[in-house]
Amino acid sequence: MTRQRKDVVRVDSAEYSILSGPVFDPAKHGLKVTSFSTACRRGYCCTYEVAQGALTLTSLIVGLTRNDKPPEINGCSPKRVGGRWEYTALALPVRYTGEILAADGVNQIRFDIADGQVVSVANEGADRISWGGVWLVIAAASATAMIFPVNTLLGRWGF
């Protein structure tokens, strides 16, 4: 099975892979996405930025069916690149409320967001194991973090 492409959040000069669930909902912007790669079965990938305490969607890659014409989003028209569409320089404020867990291979960062504004940020380090519902997230000292269903790991570890 192909490893799935992660959404990314940039803070200052650092880039983190988002380990928690999706923040952006393509359907709310008139997009009916479809897989454009075995590495992106959900049909879209996002890049966010946290600047001046606000969460912004800066770029979006989407897969659409052949006959779908993608709409403008925040005044930005997408460009066709191979079998996908790419929106760049979106600068779309994201009105998300919840938690974003992200890692860069060394640090695990937890962002608490309320209506698109960062309320708090915590660096939890790479050696911390975080429980997120039924998922266990391990931020390893490598370029990627690993996500496993808890019952799979517990079975492997003999619990």
- Grouping H, G, I as helix, E, B as strand and the rest as coil, residue 61 is strand
Handedness of CA 119, 19, 47, 64 (dihedral sign): negative
Instruction: Report whether pLDDT(11) > 80.
Output: yes
CA dihedral 114→119→125→128, nearest 10 degrees, is -50
**Longest alpha-carbon distance in the chain:** 54
pTM score above 0.95: no
pLDDT, one tens digit per residue, over 13-64 is 899 999 988 899 999 998 989 888 888 899 999 999 999 999 999 999 999 8
Q: What percent of the chain has pLDDT over 70?
A: 78
Q: What's the mean pLDDT when you consider all of the chain?
A: 80
Using DSSP's 3-state secondary structure scheme, residue 87 falls into: strand
Q: Is the pLDDT of residue 157 over 80?
A: no
Beta-bridged to residue 76, according to DSSP, are 73
